[in-house]
Amino acid sequence: MSSLISKFKNYVLRSLAEIRSNYWFVPLTYLGGGTLLFIFSAWIDVTHSDLISAFLPFKLTDVEATRIFLSTIAGSTITVAGVIFSITILASIHASSQIGPRLLSGFMEDRANQKCLGIYIATFTHCILAIN
């Protein structure tokens, strides 16, 4: 029985390590954070809107202007993410054909790249959820 528990524990730890080493783990974590931030900010807006308006130096009453602002932010973040990462991947593929194939996997495993993509995705998700 003890060996069965030990095997299961090793399997779970190995699976978690494999998931964490995946390129999309960090961006999807940031996506979840953006969604939770939206839920929290919507809750604050519903429950404490009078307190928020007391501290703001300006009034947020024009709903359509807010939607346009959020859609502009969402569009620009997803465009920047797409352009930056497609150009970088293209340059990495070109360089890996001359230097070696490990260059592309090094780019994909870099935590800074994953966090940057995660921030773009979380910003896009928060704006899209806040528009509706």
Q: What is the 3-state secondary structure (H, E, C) of the chain?
A: CHHHHHHHHHHHHHHHHHHHCCCCHHHHHHHHHHHHHHHHHHHHHHHCHHHHHHHCCCCCCCHHHHHHHHHHHHHHHHHHHHHHHHHHHHHHHHHHHHCCCHHHHHHHHCHHHHHHHHHHHHHHHHHHHHHC
Q: Compute the average pLDDT of residues 34-54.
A: 85
The tokens describing 58, both together, are: 């300006």
| pLDDT value of position 76 | 94
Q: Is the pLDDT at 22 greater than 80, yes or no?
A: no
| pLDDT value of position 86 | 85
| pLDDT value of position 36 | 95
Q: Compute the average pLDDT of residues 20-49.
A: 87
If pLDDT is split at 50, 70 and 90, which confidence band does 103 have?
low
State the pTM of this model. 0.73
Q: What's the rounded Cα separation, in Å, for the pair 73 and 105?
A: 31
| pLDDT value of position 32 | 94
